[in-house]
Structure 1
Amino acid sequence: MSALALLTARLFGRKIGTDEMGNVYYESRRVVPTYNRTRRFAVYAKGVDSSSVPAEWHAWLHHMTAGPIPRPNYPWLKPHQVNLTGTPLAYRPKGHDYAGGLRRPTGGDYEAWTPGS
């Protein structure tokens, strides 16, 4: 996080909490007259990447809840993961050029459309 963003957050906001990724969440000390509510913002731990905000904090940031939602502890629940689009770890289905490029053959029931036929 930049030093200016951290300084501004500490001067004009009060710290609400942090998440497991290291993002720190703040709320402004004053009510913004235009919206008649406080401003909520995050200082990201690893660059500006809004996809690193987990769902429980996303609801709080957008004024959907008064506080962060407690994370349920289900055995099937996976930890939050940032958006991996554009990285080597992005999902690529079978047949994608970067995953080998071999698509399965069609079943023979497909006939291409041609204009005028």
Structure 2
Amino acid sequence: MSLMMRLTTALSGRKIGTDRFGNSYHESRRDYLQYGRKRRWVLFNGAADPTKVPPEWHGWLHHTAAAPLPETKLHAWQVEHRPNPTGTALAWHPAGHDYSGGRRQVTTGDYEAWTPGS
């Protein structure tokens, strides 16, 4: 986090809370000019990755909820957050992709290539 962001947060913001990933959420002390409501932002713990904002806090950040929802697992089918693996070695590659061996399934022979004039 930059020095300017720390200074802005300390002078014009107030801390609302922290999520289970260590991200801290802040709100401006006064209404933002031409915005009509308080500005809300997040200071990430570690690298800035927007996928690390849980849905409970996402609604609060976007003014969908007046207060953040409680962070409890409500259903057995809910799983813990995983960071977005796009662009990493953990990214998913379909069969036949160069990164997963480059061998695709053999076609069944029902395909005939079109040639002009035939």
Which category of TM-score, normalised to the shorter sequence, fits these structures?
Answer: 0.7 to 0.9
Deviations 1:31-52 (A, max 9, x none): 0130100000000111222122
Q: Determine the structure 2 residue equivalent to 1:38.
A: 38
Return the TM-score normalized by structure 1.
Answer: 0.85
Root-mean-square deviation over aligned CA pairs: 1.9
What letter corresponds to residue 18 of structure 1 in structure 2?
A: T
Q: How many residues are matched?
A: 117
Rounded to whole Å, the distance in 1 between the matches of 2:87 and 2:21 is 20
Percent identity at matched positions?
Answer: 54
Is contact 1:24-1:44 (8 Å) kept?
A: yes
Rounded to whole Å, the distance in 2 between the matches of 1:55 and 1:100 is 36
Structure 1 window deviating more from structure 2 (1-10 vs 49-58): it is 1-10
Measured after TM superposition, the shift of residue 116 of structure 1 is: 5.3
What letter corresponds to residue 67 of structure 1 in structure 2?
A: A
Return the TM-score normalized by structure 2.
Answer: 0.84
Measured after TM superposition, the shift of residue 87 of structure 1 is: 1.0
Q: Determine the structure 2 residue equivalent to 1:53.
A: 53
Rounded to whole Å, the distance in 1 between the matches of 2:32 and 2:81 is 31
Deviations 1:44-102 (A, max 9, x none): 11122212212221111111111222343322211112221111111112222111111
Q: CA 1:55–1:112 in 2, change beyond 3 Å: closer, same or farther?
A: farther
Q: Determine the structure 2 residue equivalent to 1:90.
A: 91
Structure 2 residue ranges without an equivalent (≥5): none
